[in-house]
Amino acid sequence: MTKVGIIANPASGKDIRRLVAHASVFDNNEKVNIVRRILIGLDSVGVDEALIMPDYFGIGWTALDGLGGYGKQCIEATILDMPMIGEQEDSTRAAREMVEAGVGCIITIGGDGTNRVVAKGCGDTPILPVSTGTNNVVPYMIEGTVAGVAAGMVATGLVSRARATIPTKRLNIIKDGSDLDIALVDAVVSEDLFVGARALWDISRVREVVVTRGEPDNIGMSAIVGSFHPIRVEDDIGMWLELGDGGIRVRATISPGLICEIPVKRYRVIRVGERVPIANKPSTIALDGEREITVRKGDCPSVELRRDGPRLVDIKKTLAEAVKVGSFRAR
């Protein structure tokens, strides 16, 4: 039986950047519609079952309740039987349970932060990330029906995982010799001493940035690197930089509608396996746009660039390969 997991984050697209920048509010009712379209896409390529994460808004339940009028579907869709705490740990636990249930792909509906916590539970199971967040480097702006088709192609084996997916990098945050947390795109050290509202937006308080990737079309702190030294997801390098006067100045889009001129005091390329010590203390570390870790004066944290990030479904490659093998031909 072919299975696909769906993790829709009800909190994505709603943080403080709607007030301090010009980010859009992403309505949960639209996420319901996206889930419906994903299910129709999955059904069209023969996926037998979809496992949906439960959430406090009821995205999955509402999507299933209104799906009957869209024509007859063969796919069986169920809500995971798991406790909810209303925190990001729900997504990590859901990913683990989906992997244990044998899903061939996990579709995420959210931003970089959503995919970061899913990556902690998905193992080698590929992720197809659909964008509904704020600073989106990992997820795609893609129509839900197309996302469902592509995920179904991978899960059913109509397109091989080797051809359909790309390996990614990650950053391991290390403290006292143990792995503390991860980031998929960037770890950002700021002068803020408390996690607070989590979302990071005030560039004047940022002191250090470590990235796995950064290109000119990115948004968020990785866009700084993309403005002068682009690094692709395929490259076996990342970058550390220290913000401040005395070096170069670049312009970067750090949030929707928020373009800043940023002073970069120093920077250097880092290699896979290399650890970068965090020099600014006390501070907080934001992971993929959200402050998560408080660093005290006596702490000695570091950030390591790794090559074992989650595998992402490359939608264009997947669908192009599906055309080559005749998966779209009517039978």
Overall average pLDDT of the 117-127 stretch: 97
Overall average pLDDT of the 143-155 stretch: 97
Q: In the chain, what are the domains? A: 3-168+310-324 (3.40.50.10330), 170-306 (2.60.200)
Angle at 135 between CA 134 and CA 139, to 5 degrees: 95
Residue ranges of E strands in 158-288: 165-166, 170-175, 178-183, 186-190, 206-211, 237-255, 258-271, 275-277, 283-287
Q: Name the pLDDT band for 67 (thresholds 50, 70, 90).
A: confident
Which distant-in-sequence residues (6+ apart) come within 8 Å of 109 by Cβ?
Answer: 6, 7, 8, 9, 12, 31, 34, 35, 130, 132
User: How far is CA 309 from each of CA 20, 97, 189, rounded to the nearest angstrom?
Assistant: 31, 19, 21
pLDDT of residue 201: 63
Cα(156)–Cα(42) distance, integer angstroms: 10
First-last CA distance in the chain:
21
198 has a pLDDT exceeding 60: no
Predicted model pTM: 0.92
Report CA dihedral (21, 22, 23, 27) to the nearest 10 degrees: 130
| Residue type present at position 34 | I
Average pLDDT, the chain: 90
pLDDT of residue 19: 42
pLDDT of residue 20: 44
The string of DSSP codes covering 250-290 is EEEEEETTEEEEEEEEEEEEEETT-EEE----SEEEEETTE
285 has a pLDDT exceeding 80: yes
127 has a pLDDT exceeding 50: yes
| Residue type present at position 44 | S
pLDDT of residue 134: 59
Read off the pLDDT of residues 297-316 as tens digits, 9 standing for 90 and up. 989 999 999 999 999 999 99
pLDDT of residue 255: 83
Among 6-20, 159-173, 197-211, 310-324, name the one with the lowest average pLDDT: 6-20
13 has a pLDDT exceeding 60: no
Cα(189)–Cα(210) distance, integer angstroms: 9
195 has a pLDDT exceeding 70: no
Instruction: Tell me 89's DSSP state.
Output: H
Among 115-119, 203-207, 235-239, name the one with the lowest average pLDDT: 203-207
Q: How large a percentage of the chain has pLDDT more than 70?
A: 90
Beta bridge partners of 36: none
User: How far is CA 162 from each of CA 129, 154, 157, 159, 317, rounded to the nearest angstrom?
Assistant: 18, 10, 10, 9, 11
The string of DSSP codes covering 8-30 is E-TTTT-STHHHHS-PPP--HHH
pLDDT of residue 11: 78
